[in-house]
Amino acid sequence: MDAAAPGSVDPSGRRGKELVGRRVLETYPAVAGSALWEGCLDALTTGTVHEGAPFPCEEAVAAGPRRSAFSVRAARLGGRLIVSWTRHDREEREEREPQDARLPGAPARADRSPAAAADRPGQEPDDPRSAESALLESERTVLVERGKLQAERTLAARLQHALLPTPERSLELAGLHVDIAYVPSDAGVNVGGDWYSAIELPDRSALFVVGDVAGHGLDAVGTMAQLRFTAKGMTITGSALPDVLGRLNSLLLHTASEPCGATATMIMARYQPWDHRMTWVRAGHLPPLLIRRGEARFLPQPQGRLLGASFTSAYEQEMIGLEAGDHLVLYTDGLVEEPGESIDTGLARLAETARALVAEGRADTLARTLAAQRQGNRDDICVLDIHVPGSGGAP
């Protein structure tokens, strides 16, 4: 989300400035695959304005779930979506709350804490000792939850390290020089779902995969492990790359703990050394960057929605012949995204930076250099640089 009105408030109580820079599916995971999601995709693809019918929504407030009704309108503007929502029960609640406040013995509003109610002028808590006990119980609950969260983060980090050991030096696969970098978010709060795979297959071809699971923590790491090992197993046994993505999409849609609760972007590429051809597919992922003879350009994007978004998703493949000296860079969005900046600006910056590094003779560690230059990264970064040894700026 690149921008939001300062006065806007979503069903979870987040205001506009809290929404800027967040990913839609991380913030609202249950919307993936819904009628709303399909409507927004259609609006972005065709330019037709989406005006959805009102739908029920449960808000998480202090007193427990609270039902409200919302409708959403989405319209395309300059390659982006302008999304607005209307809360249909606002007037009813505003009329009801002042009346509740005037009734003797009426409970505090559901979105006010007990402490806020006690601080209102002219009101005294019925039993100060009860209020103190409630406060102590709340503090104990917070400490317990904080401990659980820290334990989950530690376990997720250990699992991720075991699943994604980053090599200390570049690899040689199927005659290619492969540099790999993985850099966790500087925030260090949650373990992300970025991942990669680079292996040589039984027929001497090579498989390269970069993926990004929405969300953080144990759920993201678990989904990442599912995708990583399933993709590797299916490719080793001879499945075509579009079929692999189709199966992975079905896997997420059928194994989610809640409806469409897991989504991911992904790019897969298979290199055949006998004819120097690279075949690749994508699922909602950013395009590969090709650096050839001093120029950098992004490859055409074949059709492919993100995994876990829709049962009707279809995946196409593209093919390119690689030449001596070529660099093909696969990456996750943490390498190019900046809050308040368009994705096109980040992609242009990546292309120019990578081109300059190759021209300067720093191509041998291109992936690690690109990742290291991203100071203060808010998201995990995963980069693979696939290089064909030879002339054209090769080390």
* Domain-located, residue 97: no
Distance CA 394, CA 359 (A): 9
Which CATH number does the domain housing residue 198 bear?
3.60.40.10
CB atoms within 10 A of CB 9: 14
- Give the end of a domain, one of 73, 88, 103: 88
Same domain (yes/no): 60, 196: no
**Residue-level pLDDT at 152:** 58
CA–CA gap between residue 41 and residue 85 (Å, rounded): 16
Same domain, 267 and 365: yes
Asked if the structure places residue 61 within a domain, the reply is yes
> CA 283 to CA 231: how far, in whole Å?
13
Residues 331 and 210 in one domain: yes
Position 353 scores a pLDDT of: 95
DSSP result, 37-101 = HHHHHHHHHH-PPEEPPPEEEEEEETTEEEEEEEEEEEEEETTEEEEEEEETTHHHHHHHHHHHH
pLDDT of residue 26: 72
Collect all residues with Cβ–Cβ distance below 8 Å to 300 and sequence separation of at least 6: 287, 318
Q: What is residue 106's DSSP assignment?
A: P
Q: Mean pLDDT, consecutive 10-residue segments, the chain of 395 residues? A: 71 72 75 80 80 71 61 75 73 46 38 37 49 65 67 58 67 94 68 84 95 78 84 92 95 68 90 96 96 95 91 94 96 88 92 95 89 76 93 48
Picking from 25, 53, 88, the residue at the C-terminal end of a domain is 88
Q: What is the pTM of this model?
A: 0.62
Instruction: Indicate whether 246 belongs to any domain.
Output: yes
21 assigned to some structural domain: yes
Q: How many domains does the chain have?
A: 2
pLDDT of residue 211: 93
Do 359 and 238 belong together in one domain? Answer: yes
**Residue 105 within any structural domain of the chain:** no
For residue 29, what is the domain's CATH number?
3.30.450.20
* Domain assignment present for 253: yes
The CA distances from residue 346 to 113, 182, 349, in Å, are: 42, 19, 5
Q: Domain end: 52, 69, 88, which one?
A: 88
Is 142 inside a domain boundary? no
The pLDDT assigned to 15 comes to: 74
Q: Could you tell me which residues come within 8 angstroms of residue 175 by beta carbon, excluding any fewer than 6 positions away?
A: 273, 388, 389
Helical spans, DSSP H, in 206-290: 217-236, 241-255
**Ramachandran area for residue 51 (φ above 0: left; ψ -120 to 50: alpha; else beta):** beta
- The reply to whether 122 falls in a domain is no
Q: Which domain holds residue 320?
A: 164-387
